[in-house]
Amino acid sequence: MMKLTILGCHSATPRENKHTTSQLLEVKGNLFLIDCGEGTQMQLRKSKVKFSRIQHIFISHLHGDHFYGLIGLISTFRLLGRTAPLTIYGPEGIKEIITLQLKLAKSRTDYPLHFHELTSNSSEIIFEDEVVSVSTLPLIHRVYTNGFLFVSNSKKRKINTSATANLDLKPFHFTQLQEGASIQLEDGRTIENSKLTLDPEQPKKYAYCSDTAYNENLVPLIQGADVLYHEATFLAQHQQLAEKTMHSTAKEAATIAKMANVKQLLLGHFSNRYPDKNEFIEEASKIFKSTEITEDLKTFSI
C-alpha cells in the first residue's frame, strides 16, 4: 500500500491557501518527497510529518513552483539537528544552486547530502531498495523535466496466518517463509512453503507526471498504473495556451490515462484562472471516468 499526500497542487505562484507543487508518498513507512515549491516545509508541518523520515527528494524540473522550497527545507533539516542522509534527485544544475546558497550563507549540512543529477532523455531506474523502485518518466516541457514512476517491490511471500497459527514457529521460520523457502520444524518435520504462504501482494504503481505537454510516449511507461497524477494546468478551451506553455489540458490528461489503462487519474497544477475546479473533472471524466482532482493536504490511498 502507498499513501499519497498532496502538499500543493497549484501552478505558477503560491497564494494564501494555494500551494505550488509538492507531494509526499509513503511506501511501507518510507517517505519520498516529490517536488518542493515555496512553502512546502510549512505544508509538511501541517501534515505532521517527522522531517527526518524524508530521505529522498525527487525534483521534476527547475521551475520555481516545483523547487523554490528546497533550499529552505535543506536548511531547516540542519537546524532541526538532522543526522540522517538525504539524497536529492533532479536535473543537472540543482547541485550548483544548492551548494552556492549554502556557501554564501557560510552554512553547511551536518548530515550527508547527496545529489543524483539527471540528464538522460530515456526512462531510467534512479532508486531501488527493498520496498520501492523509482524510475524517471521523460516529459516534454520548456526545460528538462522528468516525472517519476514509483513501483512497490513485493517480492516477499505473505504468511498465511491461519495455516501457521497452530505451529510453534520461530522468527527465523517466518523470514524463511517470506523468502519462499520450505521450513524444518524442531520435531524434524519439513513443511513446504506453499502450504504456509500466499503469493506476494501485487506491486503498486504510482506515476507522477508534471509538467508536460501532451505526450503519448508516456503511455507504455505508465501502462496499468494504479494511480496516475497528470498535470492539467488548463481546460480544453485554452488548448492553444497549453501548447504555447507546454502544459496539458484536462482532456489531454484523460486521454493519456485512458490510453495507458490506468486505474485512477488525479489532476493538479491548476492555473489560477479557473475558480471552479469541478470543470476539470467534468472535462476529463467524459474521456476517463475514474478522475479526481487534487487539493492541498488531501490524501489518497494507492
Among positions 5, 21, 22, 41, the unique one binding a second copy when judged by CB under 8 A? 41
Binding flag, residue 36, a second copy (CB under 8 A)? no
Binding flag, residue 233, a second copy (CB under 8 A)? no
Footprint on residues 128-157 left by a second copy (CB under 8 A) = 142-143
Helix (H) or strand (E) holding 75: helix 70-79
Strand pairing category for 205-209 and 299-301: unpaired
Q: Which residue has the cell 495556451?
A: 241
Task: Note if 199 is an active site residue.
Answer: no
Residue type, 290: S
Task: Pick between residue 22 and residue 135 the one whose CB is nearest to a second copy.
Answer: 22
Tell me the closest approach of the beta carbon of residue 74 to a second copy, in angstroms.
9
For the chain, list the strands marked E by DSSP: 2-8, 22-27, 30-34, 54-58, 86-91, 113-118, 125-128, 132-138, 146-152, 158-159, 183-184, 190-191, 197-198, 205-209, 227-231, 264-268, 291-293, 299-301
Binding flag, residue 16, a second copy (CB under 8 A)? yes
Tell me the closest approach of the beta carbon of residue 117 to a second copy, in angstroms.
12
Kindly determine how many residues on this chain lie close enough to bind a second copy according to the rule CB under 8 A: 35
Among positions 1, 105, 125, 185, the unique one binding a second copy when judged by CB under 8 A? 105
Binding flag, residue 79, a second copy (CB under 8 A)? yes
Tell me the closest approach of the beta carbon of residue 10 to a second copy, in angstroms.
12
If DSSP codes are grouped into helix, strand and coil, which group holds residue 99?
helix
Q: Which stretch binds a second copy (CB under 8 A): 66-74, 167-175, 217-225, 252-260?
A: 66-74
Nearest-angstrom CA–CA distance, 233 and 294: 12
Q: Which stretch binds a second copy (CB under 8 A): 27-35, 75-83, 108-116, 181-189?
A: 75-83
Q: Which three cell numbers stand for residue 38?
A: 515555496
Q: Which stretch binds a second copy (CB under 8 A): 38-46, 252-260, 278-286, 294-302?
A: 38-46
Cis peptide before 211 (omega within 30 of 0): yes
Q: Which residues of 171-208 are buried (b: 16+ CB within 10 A; e: fewer)?
A: eebeebbbeeeebeeeeeeebeeeebbeeeeeebbbbb
Binding flag, residue 226, a second copy (CB under 8 A)? no
Binding flag, residue 25, a second copy (CB under 8 A)? no
Among positions 101, 182, 285, 290, the unique one binding a second copy when judged by CB under 8 A? 101
Binding flag, residue 119, a second copy (CB under 8 A)? no
- Structural Rg of the chain based on CA atoms: 22
Nearest-angstrom CA–CA distance, 255 and 262: 11
Nearest Cα residue to 63 out of 32, 101, 93: 93
Binding site for a second copy (CB under 8 A): 12-16, 38-39, 41-42, 45-46, 62-64, 68-69, 71-72, 75-76, 79-80, 91, 93-94, 96-97, 100-101, 104-107, 142-143
Residues with active-site annotation: 65
